[in-house]
Structures are given as C-alpha cells and as structure tokens.
Structure 1
Amino acid sequence: MSELVRFGVSIDNSLLDKFDELIGRKGYKNRSEAIRDLIRDHMVEQEWEADAETVGTFTMVYDHHTRDLSSRLTHLQHSFTGEICSVLHVHLDHNNCLEVLVLKGKAQLLQTLADKLVSVRGVKHGKLTMTTTGEAMPAGQGDHSHGHSADGRNHHGHSHD
C-alpha cells in the first residue's frame, strides 16, 4: 500500500463552508476522505469517457400491459447477453414492473443498451448507473473500510467510520 501524502489546497472560504456542510450531511468524518472520494469519482468518469470496461445497473419501470413490450424487451436483452450479468424482475402493482439489469462491458456499449431499452414504447422510466470494475482504481487509504466476513464470502458492508 502506498504512503499517505499531505498537501495544501487553496479554496474560497464560502466554497469551503459549502463543502463542509456537504461532507457533514454525507457523514464523512473528515475532509480528506471526502476529497479522496471526489478524486475517485472523477477517475471513474474518465474510465467511462475512455470507453473502458465498466460495470453498472440499468433500472427501468414499465407497463407490462403494453402490447408486445415483454417480447421486445426480451429480444433486445438477448442481443446483449455478453453484457447482461443478471436481471431482477419485480411486480410493483397490477400494471407496472421494475427490472434491474446488472451490466458489464465497454461503457459506450452499456450506454447503447440503456438508450435502446429506454426508447421502447411502454418503458415509463429508465436510468443507467455506471461505476468502475475496480481494476484500475488504487486501493483506498485512511478510514475508508470494506468489511468481509470470517467465512471468506463477500457479505459486503461499506462504512465511512
């Protein structure tokens, strides 16, 4: 693991006050971890722009009574079997269903899939959320912790103590 480095940042006082309010609301213990997370977020966005391998979810709500919607969604999803890792389907009520697709692939291809899904008639709302695979991301330092159970399985807890 690399050594932590301290550095100074010049910042407008009113911007710093707003930043302190933000990190307080989010539950950060200190500015350092908040700044590290901002840097990581920027690095992840750069991965997407570079069309790197990424992971994400596509969440959509649709009216399952719309004619041929289920078959159109299934056909479209079968065109991206290499990128779709898993699908969760939930019946919200008599008319509406929620689907969450777990995705892995090149960022632009995942965006293409999301655009195609959201444009299908009967889909009421859809949103793509992408993140990093973690491979190109440096390990966290400081108080940022990820707990793993003693049995070696990935029961993943996340805390910013």
Structure 2
Amino acid sequence: MAVSRFGVSLDEELLQALDEYVAENHFSNRSQAIRHLIERNLVEKKWKCDNIVAGAVVLVFSHEKTDILKKSSEIQFEYRDVVLSSQGFYLNQQNYLEIIAVKGPSKTLTEISDKLISIKGIQHGKLVMSKAE
C-alpha cells in the first residue's frame, strides 16, 4: 500500500492533546496515531450503518456465581447466528474472564453485548468491534 504525505495545521492545544494521545497509547509517532484515529472513525461509521462487523464481548465475573455462565450460554444460543466461539479463563481464585467472538450486523452485536453485560453479577463487560471486510 502506497503512503501519501501531507501537512496538517493544528492549534497548540490540539497538538498537545495529540502528543499526549501518542504517549498514552505508545504510538511510535503522530502519523501512526492519526492513522489509528481515522481507522477507528471509519469502523464507528460502519457500526452506525449496521454493516457486518466482527468483534468480541469481554466479560469478567466471579466464577463462584455459576448462574452467570448458564445465562451467558442461553444468550449465546439465542444469538447463535452471530456467535463464532467463546472461551473462558480463570484469572485467579475469584475471577473468571469470558471472551465471546462475534460477527454480524453491528446492531445485533450491540444487542447481544447489552444482554450479556447486563447479566446480574457481571463486574465488567465491554464490546469491541472492528471491520470484518
């Protein structure tokens, strides 16, 4: 892929914010950060257009609450047309991490993640989506 170069003019505050973003995210330079921000913006547009995207729903909860895994499995079965796979990990004696790989219309992925994250007892939940094509 060919790379094109161009100049960008930013006011001092915006430039400082960009430099902080570069440092916080460990980008090697400003160009890499700008590419990342543009790509993220394009992916978010696809979400809003209900395009086909891929992603993962990440859940953290106490493994002692066995009803959470049961409810999660029931929701995944309900959305079996978009669930690709799921995998679980014991993080320590208390916490369990479940990662559910999904692919489908962004609206549907948002629906399943909202249902999963709202299960009583979920300590942390997040949907991460990316372009699929």
TM range (shorter): 0.7 to 0.9
Q: Pairwise CA RMSD of aligned residues?
A: 2.2
Q: Paired residue for 1:19?
A: 18
Relative to its length, the structure with more helix (as a share) is: 2
Greater relative contact order (Cα < 8 A, sep 6+)? 2
Q: Deviations over 1:28-68 (max 9, x none)?
A: 44333322222111111101111111111111122344363
Cα offset for 1:6? 3.1
Matched residue, 1:88 = 87
> 2:60 touches 2:123 (CA, 8 Å); kept in 1?
yes
Q: Which position in structure 2 is the counterpart of 1:98? A: 97
* Letter matched to residue 100 of structure 2: L
- Give 1:89 deviation, angstroms: 0.9
Using the TM superposition, give the Cα deviation of residue 92 of structure 1 relative to its aligned residue in structure 2, in angstroms. 3.1
Q: Say yes or no: does 1:30 pair with 2:29.
A: yes
- Give the % identical residues: 35
* 1:60 corresponds to: 59
Question: Which residue identity is paired with 1:53?
Answer: I
Residue 107 (structure 2) aligns with: 108
**CA radius of gyration, larger in:** 1
Deviations 1:108-155 (A, max 9, x none): 10110011111222222211111111x2xxxxxxxxxxxxxxxxxxxx
* Structure 2 unmatched ranges of 5 or more: none
Deviations for 1:46-105, whole angstroms, at most 9, x for unmatched residues?
A: 011111111111111223443633322211111111211111111234443211111111
Q: How many residues align?
A: 133
SS in 1 for 2:59: strand
- Secondary structure of 2:21 counterpart: helix
2:49 and 2:10 map into 1 onto residues whose CA distance is 30
Q: Which consecutive segments of 4 or more residues in structure 1 shift more than 4 A?
A: none
Alignment-derived partner of residue 44 in structure 1: 43
Which secondary structure does the structure 2 equivalent of 1:62 belong to? strand
- Looking at structure 2, the residues matched to 26 and 69 of structure 1 have their Cα atoms a distance apart, in angstroms, of 33
TM-score of the pair, normalised by structure 1: 0.71
Give the CA deviation at 1:24.
Answer: 4.2
Indicate the residue corresponding to 1:74 in structure 2: 73
Aligned ranges for residues 111-126 of structure 1 at < 5 Å?
A: 111-126=110-125
Q: Secondary structure at the match of 2:101?
A: strand
Does the 8 Å contact 2:21/2:33 carry over to 1? no
